[in-house]
Amino acid sequence: VLQRLREAEHRIVYEEFTDREGKVVSGSIQFIEPKRIYVRLNRIEAMLPAAEQVPSEHYYRGQRLKFYLVEMIQRDKEPQVIVSRSHPNLIRGLFELEIPEVHNGIVELKALAREAGHRTKVAVATVQENVDPVGSCLGPRGIRLQSIINELNGEKIDVIQWHPDPGVFIANALSPAQVANIKINVEANTATVIVPDKQLSLAIGKEGQNARLAAKLTGWRIDIKSVSAIEAEKAAVQEPELVAPAIPHETKARKLAEAEPAEEIEEEEAVEIPVILEAPSEKLEEKHIRFAEDILVGTPKAKAPDKTKSETKRKRKGKVVKYRKE
């Protein structure tokens, strides 16, 4: 009779938690083991494996937390429930619990990317035009979002607005960084994002966390570059066009070999010029001697001094002296 009663009780519990699979449940930690933690969920005991735990969280006995019910396994003795604290859908369930617009379907969670214990990005959109999806998720002075952050032990949550245009959506996903320009390649499913130099570290995030979460959220492969890097790439592309490419020695020899006969003659003449200039020293001396002889032959001979004139002068002087003495 007792065995039949336990089986009936397990069957009722299984049927109850089967409907709640994929939802957020509340429970308290019963006891802790190295590889798993046992959690009490009303009338049943659930298991929190090490893979589903958040590394930055510290668990203790009697702690009351919210968990995401991953799956329900039926066994011979009793059903086994596996819960999680690191599953992305835990954020979705907390939004539905804390924000009435999300629960009613006015605000939809279009995409979600999470790194458990560090940061989460949520893209929201609205069905009604007069409703602000981001503002409704934040609440007055951010009270609604702050209650979710407290439940996750201080994990940061970025709420961004979803947009059908992939360029606008990627720019929103990289917030709080500002984007200067975006180039999208639909075929390769990649996007090149250009940001100001001061915003580069903010866009990439700590250890690339912001860019990685934005890629998960949008489903695009994002390549982030600064404005100065893009300008440097353009300058590097333009420089080879301005400078003529150096022709290798082998290709130059081939061109000379394949040139026309007229070009070959010019090359030969250009080679023979220095040979003519570099004549031996003996020939140069001969040329100089001949040049001097030519000059002497070409010029008229200098007239010898006239002896008669000098003699007559002397005779006259002698006569004058004789006349004066006389």
Q: Residue 119: how many CB atoms within 10 A of its CB?
A: 18
Q: Which amino acid is at 235?
A: A
Confirm if 41 and 29 have CB atoms less than 8 A apart: no
Lowest mean pLDDT among 67-76, 103-112, 235-244: 235-244
Confirm if 176 and 167 have CB atoms less than 8 A apart: no
| Average pLDDT of the residues in 158-177 | 92
Query: Which H helix or E strand runs over 29?
Result: strand 24-32
Please give the share of the chain, as a percent, with pLDDT higher than 70: 72
Residue-wise pLDDT tens digits, 55-94: 889 999 999 999 999 988 776 666 788 999 999 999 999 9
Long-range contacts of 296-304 (CB under 8 A, 24+ apart): none
The one-character DSSP state at 305 is: P
The predicted structure's pLDDT at residue 258: 53
| Average pLDDT of the residues in 233-261 | 57
pLDDT beyond 50 at 108:
yes
Average pLDDT, the chain: 78
Is residue 157 helix, strand or coil? strand
Structure tokens at 325: 């003495």
The predicted structure's pLDDT at residue 102: 93
The one-character DSSP state at 260 is: -
Long-range contacts of 138-146 (CB under 8 A, 24+ apart): 139/99, 144/98, 144/99
Angle between helices 209-218 and 166-173 (to 10 degrees): 150
Residue-wise pLDDT tens digits, 126-143: 988 889 999 999 988 889
The one-character DSSP state at 34 is: S
Q: Which letter, b or e, does each residue of 288-298 get, where b requires 16 or more Cβ atoms within 10 Å of its Cβ?
A: eeeeeeeeeee
Helix spans in 152-306 (H) = 166-173, 200-204, 209-218, 227-242, 249-257, 261-277, 281-298
Confirm if 27 and 40 have CB atoms less than 8 A apart: yes
The predicted structure's pLDDT at residue 241: 52
